[in-house]
Structure 1
Amino acid sequence: MALGDKIRKLGSEAVGAGNPVAVLFGTVTNIHPLEVNVDQRFTLDEDFLILTESLQRIELDLKHTHLLPGSEVTKDALMDKIVVRSGLQIGDIVLLLRVQGGQKYVVWDKVVKP
């Protein structure tokens, strides 16, 4: 490698080190296993993605029974689970933060359109 090429390479690495995080947008293309397409240029699989807690699906099972007043009969109430947070879905647009070095990407949050 010529000296000029080495200097250019070192210069570009120094610039990259000065910007430790890059912000990107991606689209969820698959859930199991998780895949995110970034700007229609490349796809990241779950090996390269770090999810925050706010993107995890949360369900509450509210099934319960109670005794009817004045009798010994029980009644079931709320048979279904309630989804508190849906988690990621195919087609969701997500905000990604590229970790310095570019090997991992933090899926920071979903992007919502007003």
Structure 2
Amino acid sequence: MRDFTSFSKAMQRIAVDAVNATKPTAIVYGKVTSISPLKVNVEQKMTLTNAQLVLTRNVTDFETELKLDGQSSKQKYMIHNALKVGEEVLMIQMQGGQKYIVIDRVMT
């Protein structure tokens, strides 16, 4: 019975190590340290640059069309939503750990 328990624990350890080796997705926090070029410091361990970051609409300037009450047609409006230095962001580390999707700001 002892041999089976040791074998079982060894197999569990191997399975966990195999999953961790593939670097599955993870939620991480970062802080914007520069805008041009964009740089985000991740938990004071490393700095990510434009090449590693995928930005969502929540953290970029974008244009949208709106039709307000009483208007006959849509009008274009610019939404100024780009990141600013010092803001904290919520990110998803993509599998493999090479790219990070910046989901949104963290409100503190």
TM-score norm. by structure 1 comes to: 0.62
Ranges in structure 2 where 5+ consecutive residues have no aligned partner: 1-10, 65-76
Task: Determine which structure has more spread, i.e. the larger CA radius of gyration.
Answer: 1
Residues 58 and 12 of structure 1, relative CA distance in 2, 3 Å threshold: same
Q: 1:11 Cα deviation (Å)?
A: 5.0
Aligned residue number for residue 97 of structure 2:
102
Residue 91 of structure 1 is matched in structure 2 by 86
Q: Matched residues in 1 for 2:37 and 2:59: separation?
A: 15
| Structure with more of its chain in strand, by fraction | 1
Q: CA offsets per residue over residues 51-105 of structure 1, 9 Å max, x none?
A: 0012112479xxxxxxxxxxxxxxxxxxxxx863331000010001000010100
1:4 maps to which residue? none
- What SS is found at the alignment partner of 1:14? helix
* Number of residue pairs the alignment of both structures matches: 85
Structure 2 residue aligned with 1:52: 56
Amino acid at match of 2:40: V
Does the 8 Å CA contact 2:58/2:81 hold for their aligned counterparts? no
Asked if residue 29 in structure 1 is aligned to residue 33 in structure 2, the reply is: yes
Q: CA RMSD in A?
A: 2.7
Identity level (%):
38
Q: Which TM-score applies when normalising by structure 2?
A: 0.66
For 1:85, the aligned partner's letter is: H
Instruction: Write 1 or 2 for the structure with the bigger share of helix.
Output: 2
